[in-house]
């Protein structure tokens, strides 16, 4: 085992895992915030992390390499400049909603280490679009593409969702290199109804009005049937949008007693299957795979199944900050 992985697994992870999972995440964010404030952070971080250059162009964006950090880690766009120095080819911030909201009551994040899984019912806790825009202005651009995930406020009725997304797009449009539209978080009541064509049409046209031709991806649930996938893909084609497949799975569907969205290893086969079914329907839709990627062989399988890019989140929690670098160095 490499020295840095040994330090994470034997010292840092046990320390983090002795804390409540959300507390551990907040502690990591505090540390990353402090690092973000260091003027020579690039030099400092590049001492430990090497840049992985495997450049590719997808949806008109030049990515440094095909492995990104998924949404949900830097919900308020506070620390993405530091994360961008940790080997990722792109970073997705958010999910951000128009108005700030506290999210679900705590506890709302649960670890299942024996399964390398997490269950979360965070409920889009975030600082809101105006504050996030301030953070984007303060933190500025980074050396890899920056994505912004946008979601719906929990107290906004589903029929008003397109206006709610539109209000967030208008505030955030100039800050991202690309956007993702989240209609698939299982912890927001009725959100998944927005996979329906008439809602997507309205949300995408609001996006195009606010952000012009800027690339956009729709983040979908992992268990859509083929008919639902066909519908979603036809709307995406009309609005020149890509897909992120996929979000977390309602944990009860996988037999977990805890309510929330399941991520990590148990999502792997489902995410791979979803990806293959999308590629059977459309050969050319820009496609980011997300769900249960832990190793270079997991990543290779996604590319073989037709993914253009991939993202990780849960692997970072179990394997540590060098995960992207480790996975990418195993890609030959
Ligand atoms: C604690 C937590 C919070 C998340 N929050 C968001 C979010 O705000 N928006 C989003 O699109 N996905 C969110 N996700 C889903 C991840 O972006 C990712 O799609 C999912 O976890 C599957 O990938 P993984 O198995 O590599 O974690 C979250 C996941 C976790 C574990």
Cα of 5 to ligand 1 centre, how many Å?
23
Q: Can you spell out the DSSP letters for 80-139?
A: HHHHTTTT-SEEEEEEE-SS-B--SPSP-EEEEGGGTEEEE-----B--HHHHHHHHHHH
Residue 222 beta carbon below 6 angstroms from any ligand 1 atom = no
Render pLDDT for 269-283 as a digit per residue (tens, 0 to 9).
Answer: 999 999 999 999 999
Question: Which residue among 217, 247, 275 is best mutated to probe the pocket of ligand 1, counting the most ligand atoms within 8 A of its Cβ?
Answer: 247
Polymer length of the chain: 332
247-272 burial by CB neighbour count: b if 16+ within 10 A, else e? bbbbbeeeebeeebbbbbbbbbebbb
Q: The domain that contains 59 carries what CATH number?
A: 3.20.20.70
Q: For the ranges 42-56, 239-253, 272-286, 291-305, which has the lowest average pLDDT?
A: 42-56
Q: Kindly report which listed range (48-62, 83-97, 203-217, 266-280) carries the lowest average pLDDT score.
A: 48-62
**Domain count of the fold of the chain:** 1
Whether the predicted pLDDT of 16 surpasses 80: yes
Please say if the pLDDT value at position 51 is more than 90: no
Closest C-alpha to ligand 1, atom 29 = 72
Name the residue with the closest Cα to ligand 1, atom 11.
71
CA 42 – ligand 1 centroid, Å: 26
Give the predicted TM-score (pTM) of the model. 0.97
Per-residue pLDDT tens digits for 218-237: 999 999 999 999 999 999 99
Q: Is the CB of 122 under 6 A from ligand 1?
A: yes
Query: What pLDDT, on the 0 to 100 scale, is given for residue 160?
Result: 95
For residue 8, report the distance from its CA to the centre of ligand 1, in Å. Answer: 21
Provide the mean pLDDT of the chain: 94
Nearest residue (CA) to ligand 1, atom 1: 120
Q: What pLDDT is attached to residue 43?
A: 85
- Give the pLDDT band (50/70/90) at residue 197: very high
CA–centroid distance, 40 to ligand 1, in Å, is 30
Confidence of residue 6 (pLDDT cuts 50, 70, 90): confident
- 70: domain range? 3-329
């Amino acid at each position: 085992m490499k020295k840095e992985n040994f330090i994470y697994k034997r010292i840092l992870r046990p320390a983090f895992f002795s804390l409540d999972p959300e507390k551990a995440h907040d502690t990591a964010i505090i540390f990353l915030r402090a690092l973000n404030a260091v003027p020579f952070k690039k030099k400092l971080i590049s001492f430990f992390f090497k840049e992985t250059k495997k450049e590719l162009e997808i949806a008109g964006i030049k990515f440094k390499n095909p492995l990104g950090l998924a949404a949900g880690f830097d919900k308020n766009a506070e620390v993405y400049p530091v994360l961008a120095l940790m080997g990722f080819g792109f970073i997705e911030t958010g999910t951000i909603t128009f108005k700030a909201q506290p999210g679900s009551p705590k506890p709302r994040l649960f670890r299942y280490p024996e399964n390398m899984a997490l269950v979360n019912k965070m409920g889009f806790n975030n600082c809101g679009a105006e504050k996030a825009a301030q953070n984007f202005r303060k933190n500025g651009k980074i050396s890899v593409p920056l994505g912004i995930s946008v979601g719906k406020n929990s107290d906004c009725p589903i029929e008003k969702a397109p206006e709610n997304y539109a209000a967030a797009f208008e505030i955030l449009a100039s800050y991202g290199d690309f956007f993702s539209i989240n209609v698939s978080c299982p912890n927001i009541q009725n959100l998944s109804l927005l996979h329906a064509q008439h809602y997507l049409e309205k949300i995408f046209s609001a996006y195009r009005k606010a952000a012009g031709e800027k690339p956009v991806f729709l983040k979908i649930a992992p268990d859509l049937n083929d008919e639902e996938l066909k519908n979603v893909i036809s709307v995406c084609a009309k609005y020149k949008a890509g897909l992120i497949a996929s979000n977390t799975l309602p944990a009860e569907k996988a037999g977990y007693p805890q309510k929330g969205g399941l991520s990590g290893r148990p999502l792997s086969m489902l995410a791979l299957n979803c990806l293959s079914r999308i590629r059977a329907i459309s050969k050319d839709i820009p496609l980011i795979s997300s769900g249960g990627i832990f190793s270079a062989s997991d990543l290779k399988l996604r590319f073989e199944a037709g993914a253009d890019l991939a993202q990780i989140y849960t692997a970072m929690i179990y394997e540590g900050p060098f995960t992207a670098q480790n996975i990418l160095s195993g890609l030959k």
